[in-house]
Amino acid sequence: MKDFNIEERVEKAKSLFLDGFNCSQSVFLAYSDLFDLDTEIAKSMSVSFGGGVGRMREICGTVSAMAMLAGFKYPVPDPRDITRRTENYSVVQELAEQFKQKHNSLVCRDLLPAAEASSKNPVPSARTPQYYEKRPCLLYVEDAARMAGNMLKNA
């Protein structure tokens, strides 16, 4: 894997989010080039995890993005390779625990203000200045991008 600067990747993730990409895409796209992923494929494979998986407000999309990145860093090509699968799951659990320790939850609806936590509407919210003011999502993108960068650097 080529060398990279974590803080530059964090800024890239934040910029992607502010440009309109969802939380999962923002974190995933900030690092997808390290694995020679086509940008359009990376956008497509990460889009459905935004809003807590399809805006259902389940596991935070930034956590899902970290898990996807861990899958590229710690792949398990042979489904019978329990050692590598265990390694992958351990990394994912560690990332999730770091995020949970910092934000008290992994669940999107718990991380959002109550007025924003509904899971019944699949329509994404308009990205207005008010959207960014009332949601803490940019902070979650920043923290997850940093956690992912640390995971990718260490190994």
Q: How is 31-72 classified by DSSP, letter by letter?
A: HGGGGT--HHHHHHHHHTTTTTTTTS--B-HHHHHHHHHHHH
With beta carbons less than 8 A apart as the criterion, state whether 66 and 26 touch. Answer: no
Distance CA(145)–CA(12), nearest Å, equals 9
Mean pLDDT of 83-109: 98
| % pLDDT > 90, the chain | 89
pLDDT confidence bin for 155, thresholds 50/70/90: low
Q: Show me where the domains of the chain are located.
A: 6-153
Tell me what pLDDT residue 26 has.
Answer: 98
Nearest to 112, CA basis, from 56, 64, 65, 66: 56
pLDDT of amino acid 117: 80
Residue 116: per-residue pLDDT: 83
114 pLDDT tier (thresholds 50, 70, 90): confident
Arithmetic mean of pLDDT over the chain: 95
Residues 36-60: pLDDT tens digits? 999 999 999 999 999 999 999 999 9
Tens digit of each residue's pLDDT (9 = 90 or more) over 116-139: 888 778 999 899 999 998 899 999
